[in-house]
Amino acid sequence: MVTSFATILVVDDEPDLRTLYELTLLREGYRVETAGTLAEARAQLQLCRFDVLITDMRLPDGSGMELLRELRDQRRRERTIVMTAYGSAENAVEALRCGAFDYLTKPVDLKQFRTVVASAVQGEGSVPKPGSPASGLAAVAHSKTVDILSASTALERLVGESQAMRQVKQRIQKVAQSMAPVLITGESGTGKELVARALHACSHRAQAPWVAVNCGAIPEHLLEAEFFGARKGAYTGATADRTGFFAAARGGTLFLDEIGELPLSMQAKLLRAIQERSVRALGTTQEEPVDVRIVSATHRDLAAAVQSGEFRQDLYYRLNVIDIPLPPLRERREDLPALCNALLQRIAGEGAQPAMLSPQLTEQLQGLPLLGNVRELENLLHRALALGEELAMDGVPTDSPCAQDTSAASMLVAPDELPHDLQAWLDQQERHILTRALHACGYNRTAAAARLGISLRQMRYRIERLNIPVCPEEPLAVSDNPLHDALH
């Protein structure tokens, strides 16, 4: 393989990080040289040529941007990956415009680090010319880039051969070549972004930019600038031109995740951009044509949101030209063994010990509600491995929502009976629901409140009143789950 003989230069002034990156790359089979300063890096570059240069942005004697510009001016073939703890949209845009292959922010996830390096070594994508649109711009702000996937690889990531999943995959292949907007619906944790990624990979735009945006994660006052771009001085703090998501995705796919969280004012502007196929950056009067395919996703019932006036009807029909509904995990339980094995392999790739799923645990997982879907399943498996718990034993962590269901079930009363203590019974039900929502949202109280349709203040009040832990390490209430003892 080419990657086995690739040579890489790592430039970082922190010895510990430099060693970590070096060891990580050596394990992948690369030849690695290191430098701690700009001067050392220049000396290494004069001695020989490399396949990839990985440099920190800030060095004791200068900036990694200087290396980037020098390589560009000398027309060197090294692909450059810029890493820094001082990440900002402006730095990322500048690096990518100067020819950086990609841009990572510290602390760097080693799995992503390995993936980006492999992509650079194998020559996937191309080093953008200065000033030209670059697919890497999608890594800025609240969006992100991923590797160019083949259609088969993207479809394989949708694990499962149940009838429901076969229908999803068939629909993806059927509509991928179309330019029609697609709306992906389904509960949190069902894999909506994987479906969107597969749509892109199976389309004729697979080699073009893929930009994924979490609409609920962007402050409302920045939405227009993030989506459409802004010119220097267009608003307070705009010290440089900003490339918007539409421009970054030109020729490719723009994935709007959690589209239901957009405020009405922004919905009107998005509708115009989709209809006119053009955008106008803040600070300019000129509209620029954009060629993007819109794929959106939501866990909300947008039809109901239209009826309640929370979502524009015209935008809904514009986005929902083709719909792909995703089934919850409880409706495709036959996929659980394959899903568990795939998740265990991925977890093992992140440094955990490899593990095999026993038939006994598979049977027990089949009986759990798994209301958090694949995300909750991954959480259960990851937690068990991280804590050194044996997957082959009978049990799941007692503080998972799955275990809490048994506790809640013990509080249920028969239809003809009445609870002896109504307030205690109601508190138990409320505590159970809030705990499940927190777990499904990664213990993000804002997201959990939004999912339950209550305000953050109401969520905080209920958490305090019911004494609910707000992080997974805190002990939860004792559960009557019979699976508890094997893992604790």
Query: Which of these, 262, 289, 294, lies nearest to 276 by C-alpha position?
Result: 289
Query: Which of these, 95, 146, 156, 105, lies nearest to 125 by C-alpha position?
Result: 146
Identify the helix (H) or strand (E) that includes residue 340: helix 336-349
Alpha-carbon Rg for the chain in angstroms: 25
- Asked if 240 and 93 touch (Cβ cutoff 8 Å), the reply is yes
362: its two tokens: 């598979």
Q: Which residues contact 184 (CB under 8 A, 6 or more apart)?
A: 192, 195, 196, 295, 296, 297, 298, 323, 324, 325, 326
For residue 80, the number of C-alpha atoms closer than 13 Å in the C-beta half-sphere is 28
Q: Give the pLDDT score at 67.
A: 87
Beta-sheet pairing, 52-56 with 7-11: parallel
Residues shown for the chain: 488
Identify the helix (H) or strand (E) that includes residue 213: strand 210-214
Helical residues (DSSP H) of 74-222, grouped into ranges: 89-97, 110-122, 151-156, 163-175, 192-201
What are the start-end ranges of the E strands in 24-163?
31-35, 52-56, 58-59, 62-63, 79-84, 102-105, 143-144
- Asked if 434 and 466 touch (Cβ cutoff 8 Å), the reply is yes
Q: Give the pLDDT score at 119.
A: 74
DSSP helix/strand/coil, 322: strand
Rounded to two decimals, the pTM is 0.54
Q: How many angstroms separate the CA atoms of 198 and 85, rounded?
A: 32
Burial of 275 (0-12, 13-18, 19+ CB in 10 A): exposed
193: its two tokens: 């972004």
Residues paired with residue 324 on neighbouring β-strands, in sequence order: 184
Q: Give the pLDDT score at 484.
A: 35
Q: How many angstroms separate the CA atoms of 373 and 345, rounded?
A: 18
* Full strand arrangement of the beta sheet holding 322-325: 143-144, 210-214, 253-257, 293-298, 182-185, 322-325
Q: Give the pLDDT score at 412.
A: 42
Q: Which residues contact 309 (CB under 8 A, 6 or more apart)?
A: none
Sign of the alpha-carbon torsion through 145, 147, 148, 153? negative
Residues paired with residue 84 on neighbouring β-strands, in sequence order: 105
Q: Give the pLDDT score at 182.
A: 92
Sign of the alpha-carbon torsion through 375, 376, 377, 381? positive
Mean predicted lDDT score pLDDT of the chain: 78
Residue ranges of the chain with per-residue pLDDT less than 70:
1-5, 85-94, 96-97, 123-149, 349-355, 386-417, 470-488
Omega before residue 60 within 30° of 0, cis: no
For residue 380, the number of C-alpha atoms closer than 13 Å in the C-beta half-sphere is 32
- Asked if 289 and 247 touch (Cβ cutoff 8 Å), the reply is no
